[in-house]
Amino acid sequence: MSSERLLLAIVAVLVAVIVGVAVLWQPDAPAPAAPPTLPAGGEFTLQSADGPVSLKDFRGRVTLLYFGYTYCPDICPTTLSALTAGLAQLTPEERARVAVVFISVDPQRDTPEHLKTYVAFFDPGFVGVTGSPAELGELAGRYGVFYQRQPGGKDDAYIVDHTAETFAVGPDGRLLARMAHGTPPDQVAALIRQYLNQP
C-alpha cells in the first residue's frame, strides 16, 4: 500500500468517526445507567369469552399483562387485587387509558368463559384470555415467562409453576417494564401514571 493510499484510508476513517459522533451525539440524553434488559415482548392474539383479543386492540393505553392460572390460590389473586387497588388510585380519565389482561397458561382447565368470571371478580374491565399450548409457549418465550405443570396431583388438581411478574406495555405496544410480585398498589399507580404521561 502506498503512503498516499494509507493517508487516504486514515482520512476516510477519521471522517467516518467524526460523522458518526456528530450523528449519535445527544448531549441531552441521560447516560444509560445499565438498565436491566427487557424481553422482546410484542404482539399476540388470544381467545377471550367475547372473541379474539390482540395486544394491538389496546394501542393508546398502558396495558398490564399477567401470566397465571385460576387454580392459583394465592399468587394470582394477590397480584390481581394489587392491580385493582392500584387502578382505584387513578382518575377516571387515567383509568380509561389502562387495560389489564390476564393470560392463562393453563388452557386445559381455564376456558375463556371460566376466565371471564374469574377476572370479573377483581374488575369487570379486566380481560381474561388463553390460547393453544403452542401459542402460549411462543408468547411466553417472547416475554421471558416461565411456566411448567408439576407432576403429581389428580387429573384436575395439578400445580403450575409460573413467573409472577406483571408486564407493562406502553401505548405504542412496546414492553416498558415488569413489576415484581407483591408490588404495592401505590407503586402500580405510579408506574401507570409515569407511562401514561410519557411523551
Partner 1 sequence: MKRLSVIFAALSLSTAAFAGAADDVVVHEPYVRLAPPNAPATGAFMVLRNGGAKAVKLVKAENPASRLTELHNHINDNGVMRMRQVPAIEIPAKGEAVLKPGGLHVMLIDMKAPLSEGQVVPITLGFDDGSSKVVEVKVQKVMPAAMPAAAPMQHGQHHH
Name which of Cu ion, partner 1, none residue 184 binds, using a CB cut-off of 5 to 8 Å depending on partner kind.
Answer: partner 1
* Closer of 36 and 51 to partner 1 (Cβ): 36
Distance of CA 192 to the CA centre of its chain: 12
Distances (CA, A) of 134 to 75, 102, 109, 111, 141: 24, 18, 16, 16, 11
Residue 37 binding partner per list Cu ion, partner 1, none, with a CB distance cut-off of 5 to 8 Å that depends on partner kind? partner 1
Shortest Cβ distance from residue 86 to partner 1 (Å)? Answer: 8
Query: Sign of torsion, CA 72 75 80 81?
Result: positive
Give the nearest distance from C-beta 74 to Cu ion in angstroms.
6
**H-helix or E-strand spanning residue 104:** strand 98-104
Residues that bind Cu ion (CB under 5 A): 73
d(CA 69, CA 90): 27
For residues 189 and 136, give the distance between their C-alpha atoms in angstroms, rounded to a whole number.
Answer: 28
> 78 contacts which partner out of Cu ion, partner 1, none, CB within 5 to 8 A by kind?
partner 1
Between 93 and 156, name the residue whose CB sits nearer to partner 1.
Answer: 156
- Considering only CA atoms, which of 125, 133, 113, 124 is closest in space to residue 70? 113
**Residue 40 marked in a binding site:** no
* Biggest CA pair distance of the chain: 81
Q: Is 162 annotated as contributing to ligand binding?
A: yes
Q: Cα(122)–Cα(64) distance, rounded to whole angstroms?
A: 14
Nearer to Cu ion, 83 or 160 (CB): 160
Contacts with partner 1, residue ranges (CB under 8 A): 32, 35-38, 70-75, 77-78, 81-82, 85, 109, 114, 117-122, 146, 156-157, 159, 161-165, 175-185, 187, 191
Shortest Cβ 41–partner 1 spacing (Å): 9
Comparison of 7 and 194: residue with beta carbon closer to partner 1:
194
Is 72 flagged in the annotation as binding?
Answer: yes
As annotated, the binding site for Cu cation includes: 72, 76, 162
As annotated, the binding site includes: 72, 76, 162
